[in-house]
Amino acid sequence: MTVYRIKQILLESYPVLVLCATVSLAAGFLLDASTAEIRRLPLILMMVPPINGINNNICSILGARLASALHMGTVEPRFKRQRVLSGNIHASWLMSMGVFWFMGAIFFAIAYMSGLGFGSSLMWMFGFFFASMIAIAVTMLCTVVLAFVSFARGLDPDNVVIPVVTSIGDISGVACLLIMVKIIGV
């Protein structure tokens, strides 16, 4: 008898995957409508793949780590007094800072070279940075809650967390970018 069983993996994963695919399908239709606004701004369009990609990657790492930790018993599904959990969140947060500052600097360079002034290039850089930090904070919170809830309910977080969190990550990334555009006001 193996620890993993095909039937269990299928039963846990299939509904989640179909749900996420449906969200993605709907998002595809919606994106066509809402990106008309983004398409006018090539710089924002360029920001969408990295913000979503990094967001999803950091939260996938966090999700995978939490799932392993829950299975090994080094993290328990509660929030208070969890040293391993806070270490993980701390590490994810540091990674986000590092990678988003790096990407922000790249976008600053691109904006500046494409002929925007120094001030507005700087504004785009900070805009990108703050949009991505808010997006990642939301997605990280969802990751932890989802890992705990699925584990507490007897599901394998390995099967559930990454698919759902990447769907949430895509939405929060684009939403935060759109809000940033509204605030900066182009």
Partner 1 sequence: MPRGMRIRAIVIQGLSILLLCALVELCAGNVFEGMKESLTMALPGLIVMVPPLLDLRGNINGALASRLGTALHTGVIEPKLSMSAELKVNLASSLILSFLASATIGIFSFAASALLGVKTIGVISLVLVAIIAGVISGIILAVLTVAVAVFSYMRGWDPDNVTAPLMATIGDLVTMLCIFLAVLLVG
Which residues are near partner 1 by CB under 8 A? 2-6, 9-10, 13-14, 16-18, 20-22, 24-25, 27-29, 46, 49-50, 53-54, 56-58, 60-61, 63-65, 67-68, 71-72, 83, 87-88, 90-92, 94-95, 98-99, 102-103, 106, 156-159, 161-163, 166-167, 170
Nearer to partner 1, 28 or 119 (CB): 28
Nearer to partner 1, 51 or 138 (CB): 51
What's the chain's Rg over C-alpha atoms?
Answer: 19
Q: Cβ of residue 40: shortest distance to partner 1, in angstroms?
A: 16
Nearer to partner 1, 72 or 185 (CB): 72
Q: Cβ of residue 178: shortest distance to partner 1, in angstroms?
A: 18
Q: Cβ of residue 29: shortest distance to partner 1, in angstroms?
A: 7
Q: Please tell me the distance from the alpha carbon of residue 19 to that of residue 119, in angstroms, as a whole number.
A: 43
Nearer to partner 1, 109 or 141 (CB): 109
> What residues contact 62, with CB distance under 8 A and at least 6 apart?
88, 89, 92, 140, 143, 144
Q: Cβ of residue 20: shortest distance to partner 1, in angstroms?
A: 6
Q: How does DSSP classify residue 79?
A: S
Q: Cβ of residue 185: shortest distance to partner 1, in angstroms?
A: 25
How many alpha carbons fall within 13 Å on the CB side of residue 174? 17
Longest pairwise C-alpha distance within the chain = 66
Q: Please tell me the distance from the alpha carbon of residue 86 to that of residue 116, in angstroms, as a whole number.
A: 41
SS3 24: helix
Nearer to partner 1, 84 or 122 (CB): 84
Q: Take residue 37 and report the two structure tokens written for it.
A: 């606004």
| Chain position carrying tokens 């994963």 | 13
Nearer to partner 1, 39 or 78 (CB): 39
Q: Cβ of residue 103: shortest distance to partner 1, in angstroms?
A: 6
SS3 62: helix
